[in-house]
């Protein structure tokens, strides 16, 4: 009895250890589709535009049926941007990749799966934008209005882990960029050392680094933390769902640009190139851009921007990854590599 029981437990233990150690890889297979038989598109997306795609997909399917006379069904997968990018590289056969940041599309291209240049008009390959902003408790009890307020001693901050989350990387760059541009009180413009010190004083206040942007805001909704640094659209979607936290837009912040691309290797395998490209083109249409705007994302279409100005007030000092940091290829390693600015800062701050 004793021996038997311990044996069972040993086995359970061995299995759970394996389960926790083995790298995961999702590899659903899809049937190849002819042009006239029903098509199936696999969408590999990051987590935050889930609600928008929920509305976009049926609309596209109806239009495609009218235009091409073909039924199209979708399989949708939503993961943290970095995780989704890795899954696609490791064999998750997504026809279309819609991710949080350009660097994650680049990883798929580097693996040889995207062979065309995805930085195409109308918006250089970007399909939606957002900004880094803050969620605060109802009535803003901690009186948070700008980046400088986040360094107040004792404040409890939530932001995701840049190791696993694209959103987290945007957050860090927004904070650092604002400081470097002289937009944070007490930090002279262009003073890197002072910007790093400011980054550290904010990181000191972080109480949890969740896996992804969605997990982080959910944690905030549970009641933890005084402020969550996150995408503006996460806060708007949460408010729409009945959450009573408030949105604070800092004076200076980064424009989050979300790319979308057809994955050449997989569409050719599946025979879905035509419908996949049509879907991506559809996402740039005014109609689709309005739906993104409805679900908290800032549109790229000039007319839609004009029409939604009340909901999305312009930011006083808005900067981009390109003009402030020279693009993701440069910013990625500089900030989040093993000896990057963020990696060193978090190590110094959290050292017991």
Partner 1 sequence: MTTAAPTLTSRKTTRPAPWGRWALKSAAFSYLAVLLVIPLIVIFRDGLSEGVGGLWQAISLPIAWSALKLTLWTSAVMAVINAVMGTMTAYVLVRYTFPGKSVLNAVVDLPLAIPTLVTGVMLVLLYGPQSLIGGWFQDQFGWGIIFARPGIVLALLFINYPFVVRAVQPVLENFERDAEEAAATLGAGSLTIFWRVTLPALWLPIASGALLSFARAIGEFGSIVIVSGNLPLRTQTAAVYLLGEVESANRQGASAMSIVMLSLAFGLVLFVDWLRQRGQQEPAP
Residues numbered 217 to 246 that lie near partner 1 (CB under 8 A) are 222-224
For β-strands 72-79 and 317-319, DSSP reports them as unpaired
Interface with partner 1 includes 1 (CB under 8 A)? yes
Q: Per CB under 8 A, does 138 bind partner 1?
A: no
CB contact set of 75 (below 8 Å; sequence gap of 6+): 28, 30, 40, 41, 42, 43
Give the separation between CA 96 and CA 72, rounded to whole angstroms.
14
State the binding string over 190-209 for partner 1 (x if CB under 8 A, else -): ----------------xxxx
**5 interacts with partner 1 by CB under 8 A:** yes
Helix (H) or strand (E) holding 72: strand 72-79
For residue 344, the minimal CB distance to partner 1 (Å) is 11
* Minimum CB distance to partner 1, residue 327 (Å): 19
Closest distance of CB 81 from partner 1, Å: 10
What residues pair up with 132 in beta bridges, in sequence order?
231
Interface residue with partner 1 among 42, 44, 56, 82 (CB under 8 A) is 82
Phi-psi region of 326 (alpha: psi -120 to 50; beta: other; left: phi over 0): left
Interface positions, 274-303, toward partner 1 (CB under 8 A): none
Residue 117: CB minimum distance to partner 1, A:
23
Q: Confirm or reject binding of residue 347 to partner 1 (CB under 8 A).
A: yes
- What separation in angstroms does the CA of 5 have from each of 14, 15, 16? 14, 16, 17
Q: 79: which 2 tokens?
A: 């993961």
From the list 81-89, 122-130, 171-179, 304-312, the region that binds partner 1 by CB under 8 A is 81-89
Which of 168/297 has CB closer to partner 1?
Answer: 168
Q: How many CB atoms lie within 10 A of CB 298?
A: 22
Among 50, 181, 200, 211, binds partner 1 (CB under 8 A): 211
For position 112 contacting partner 1 by CB under 8 A, the verdict is no
Residue 10 lies near partner 1 (rule: CB under 8 A): yes
CB closer to partner 1 out of 61 and 109: 109
Tell me the C-alpha distance between 255 and 244, whole Å.
Answer: 25
CA distance 315 to 59: 32
189 binds partner 1 (CB under 8 A): no
35 in contact with partner 1 (CB under 8 A):
no
The answer to the question of residue 6 lying near partner 1 (CB under 8 A) is yes
Q: Is 10 exposed, middle or buried (0-12, 13-18, 19+ CB in 10 A)?
A: exposed
Choice from 44, 80, 238, 250 touching partner 1 (CB under 8 A): 80
Residues contacting residue 133 through CB under 8 Å, at least 6 positions apart: 229, 230, 231, 232, 235, 247, 248, 249, 250, 253
- Residue 339 engages partner 1 in binding (rule: CB under 8 A): no
3 state SS of 106: helix
**Residue number, 163 or 181, with CB nearest to partner 1:** 163
Widest CA span in the chain:
74
26 part of the interface to partner 1, by CB under 8 A: no
The nearer residue to partner 1, 117 or 339, going by C-beta atoms, is: 339
Q: How many whole angstroms from its chain centre is CA 323?
A: 20
Q: Which of 50, 152, 156, 273 binds partner 1 (CB under 8 A)?
A: 156
Rounded Cα–Cα distance for residues 279 and 57 (Å): 9
- Does 23 interact with partner 1 (rule: CB under 8 A)? yes
Binding stretches for partner 1 (CB under 8 A): 1-7, 9-10, 12-14, 16-18, 20-24, 80, 82-83, 86, 107, 156, 161, 163-164, 206-211, 222-224, 336, 338, 346-347, 350-352
């Amino acid at each position: 009895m004793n021996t038997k029981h311990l044996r069972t437990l040993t086995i359970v233990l061995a299995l759970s250890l394996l389960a926790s150690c083995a790298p995961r890889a999702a590899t659903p297979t899809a049937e190849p589709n002819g042009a006239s038989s029903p098509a199936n598109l696999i969408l590999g997306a990051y987590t935050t535009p889930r609600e928008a795609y929920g509305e976009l997909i049926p609309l596209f399917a109806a239009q495609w049926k009218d235009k091409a006379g073909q039924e199209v069904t979708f399989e949708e997968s939503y993961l943290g941007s970095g995780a989704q990018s890795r899954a696609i590289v490791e064999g998750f056969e997504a026809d279309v990749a819609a991710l949080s940041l350009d660097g994650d599309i680049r990883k798929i291209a580097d693996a040889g799966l995207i062979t065309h240049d995805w930085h195409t008009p109308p918006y250089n390959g970007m399909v939606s934008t957002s900004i880094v902003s803050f969620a605060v408790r109802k009535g803003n009890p901690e009186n948070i209005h700008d980046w400088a307020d986040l360094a107040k001693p004792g404040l409890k901050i939530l932001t995701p882990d840049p190791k696993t989350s694209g959103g987290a990387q945007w957050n860090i760059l927004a904070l650092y960029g604002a400081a470097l541009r002289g937009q944070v009180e007490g930090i002279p413009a262009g003073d890197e050392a002072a910007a790093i010190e400011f980054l550290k004083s904010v990181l000191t206040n972080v109480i949890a680094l969740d896996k992804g942007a969605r997990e982080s805001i959910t944690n905030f909704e549970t009641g933890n933390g005084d402020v969550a640094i996150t995408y503006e659209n996460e806060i708007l979607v949460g408010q729409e769902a009945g959450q009573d936290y408030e949105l604070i837009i800092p004076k200076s912040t980064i424009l989050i640009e979300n790319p979308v691309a057809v994955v050449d290797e997989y569409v050719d395998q599946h025979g879905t190139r035509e419908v996949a490209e049509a879907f991506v083109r559809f996402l740039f249409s005014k109609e689709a851009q309005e739906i993104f705007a409805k679900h908290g994302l800032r549109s790229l279409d000039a007319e839609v921007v004009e029409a939604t100005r009340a909901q999305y007030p312009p930011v006083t000092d808005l900067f981009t990854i390109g003009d402030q940091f020279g693009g993701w290829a440069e910013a990625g390693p500089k900030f989040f590599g093993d000896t990057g600015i963020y990696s060193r800062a978090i190590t110094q701050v959290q050292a017991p």
